[in-house]
């Protein structure tokens, strides 16, 4: 059984794909994170997962859990070399697990996650990695569409939303919409599925659909705050709350500019 920390590790994908084309922002070069911060918890979780995997190299669960922890630690990397080094450890663990069990959904899922982290360090080669990322998540959907609260659909939706479109890459509005909607349908209790869909509607200037989706999330948030609670979810809620506030601000501004507000 996955720990609370590992359960949601992959959920931090968020707008990772959007960062592929821009230089990543690295943490300050200081003596190290203070105790009990998201960064320190990610580092500790990765260290512990690495130890379990090294002691049980043929244990499939230990392999993908290590890959999951690698993804999380990559989010706090200070430079490209650190990010690539950790991402490659997760990639190798998943590939070894898949060599023994090609039908392991979790390994395909986190292989895609860590490949996406690696892509952040490949300025010229990032786009070339996206096809492999896409294939891994499509395979994960076939094997277990519910994994990580519809994580494969959620991530594919973000991939198609933020990647450049044809002929340069695989970005596609119809594909993005399909997978973002599917993630919400499969796991409506998970806030990030709704946030991704609403942000996509706003990006497409479809404020009517965005407002409907926002109303749905408003109804679900009280229960979500009770379900996804504790230190393991602090960084998620920090991100989700910021995004939710930004969504509400944009929808409010659009409402203020609507024709009905200018009638005399």
Q: Does residue 5 surpass a pLDDT of 50?
A: no
Query: CA-CA-CA-CA torsion for 76, 164, 113, 210, nearest 10 degrees?
Result: 90
- This prediction has a pTM of 0.83
Residue linked to tokens 């294939």: 135
pLDDT band of 28, cuts 50, 70, 90: very low
pLDDT for position 35: 54
Q: Do 65 and 49 form a contact (C-beta atoms < 8 A)?
A: yes
pLDDT exceeds cutoff 50 at 219:
yes
Does the structure show a pLDDT above 50 at 184? yes
Mean pLDDT computed over 21-48: 66
pLDDT band at 7 (very low <50, low <70, confident <90, very high): very low
Distance CA 71, CA 65 (A): 10
What's the whole-number mean pLDDT along residues 10-22? 44
Report the percentage of the chain scoring pLDDT > 70.
82
CA terminus-to-terminus distance, the chain: 62
What per-residue confidence (pLDDT) applies to 137? 98
Question: What's the pLDDT score for residue 11?
Answer: 41
> Does residue 18 have a pLDDT over 60?
no
The answer to whether 150 and 183 are in contact (CB under 8 A) is: yes
Q: What's the confidence (pLDDT) of residue 112?
A: 98
The answer to whether 98 and 135 are in contact (CB under 8 A) is no
Provide the residue ranges of all domains of the chain, joining segments of one domain with +. 4-256
Please write the tens of the pLDDT for every residue from 49-102: 999 999 999 999 999 999 999 999 999 999 999 999 999 999 999 999 999 999
Is the CB of residue 190 less than 8 Å from the CB of residue 149?
Answer: yes
**pLDDT exceeds 80 at position 257:** no
Asked if 99 and 91 count as a contact pair (C-beta separation under 8 A), the reply is no
pLDDT digits (tens, 9 = 90+) for 128-165: 788 999 999 999 999 999 999 999 999 999 999 998 88
* Residues 183, 151: Cα–Cα separation, whole Å: 7
Sequential DSSP letters for the chain? ---HHHHTGGGGGTTGGGGGGSPPPPPP-SS-PPTTSHHHHHHHHHHHHHHHHHH-TT-HHHHHHHHHHHHHHHTT-SSHHHHHHHHHHHHHHHHHHHHH-TT-HHHHHHHHHHHHHHHTT-TTTHHHHHHHHHHHHHHHHHH-TTHHHHHHHHHHHHHHHHS-BTTTS-B-HHHHHHHHHHHHHH-TT-HHHHHHHHHHHHHTT-HHHHHHHHHHHHHHHHHHHHHS-SGGGHHHHHHHHHHHHHHHHHHHHHHHTSGGGG--
Topology of the domain comprising 4-256:
1.25.40
Q: Give the CA count within 13 Å in the CB-facing half-sphere of 138.
A: 10
Question: Is 50 exceeded by the pLDDT of residue 15?
Answer: no
The pLDDT, as a whole number, for residue 250 is 95
Does 4 have pLDDT greater than 80?
no
Q: Report CA torsion sign: 185, 135, 116, 4.
A: positive
For residue 8, what pLDDT is reported?
A: 40
> Rg of the chain's alpha carbons, rounded to an integer?
19
């Amino acid at each position: 059984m996955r720990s609370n920390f590992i359960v949601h590790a992959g959920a931090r994908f968020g707008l990772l794909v959007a960062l592929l084309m821009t230089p990543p922002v690295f943490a300050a070069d200081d003596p190290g994170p203070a105790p009990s911060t998201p960064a320190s918890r990610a580092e500790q979780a990765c260290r512990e997962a690495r130890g379990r995997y090294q002691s049980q190299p043929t244990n499939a669960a230990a392999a993908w859990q290590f890959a999951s922890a690698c993804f999380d630690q990559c989010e706090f990397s200070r430079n490209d070399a650190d990010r690539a080094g950790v991402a490659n450890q997760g990639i190798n663990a998943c590939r070894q697990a898949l060599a023994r069990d090609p039908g392991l959904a979790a390994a395909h899922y986190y292989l895609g996650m860590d490949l996406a982290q690696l892509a952040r360090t490949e300025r010229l080669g990032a786009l070339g990695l996206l096809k492999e990322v896409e294939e891994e998540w499509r395979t994960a959907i076939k094997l277990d569409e519910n994994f990580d609260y519809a994580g494969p659909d959620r991530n594919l939706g973000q991939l198609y939303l933020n990647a450049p479109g044809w002929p340069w890459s695989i970005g596609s509005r119809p594909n993005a919409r399909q997978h973002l909607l599917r993630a919400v349908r499969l796991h409506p209790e998970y806030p990030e599925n709704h946030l991704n869909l609403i942000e996509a509607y706003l990006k497409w200037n479809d404020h009517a659909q965005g407002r409907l989706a926002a109303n749905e999330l408003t109804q679900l948030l009280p229960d979500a705050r009770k379900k996804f609670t504790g230190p393991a979810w602090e960084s998620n809620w920090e991100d989700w709350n910021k995004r939710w506030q930004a969504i509400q601000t944009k929808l409010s501004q659009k409402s203020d500019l609507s024709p009905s507000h200018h009638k005399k």
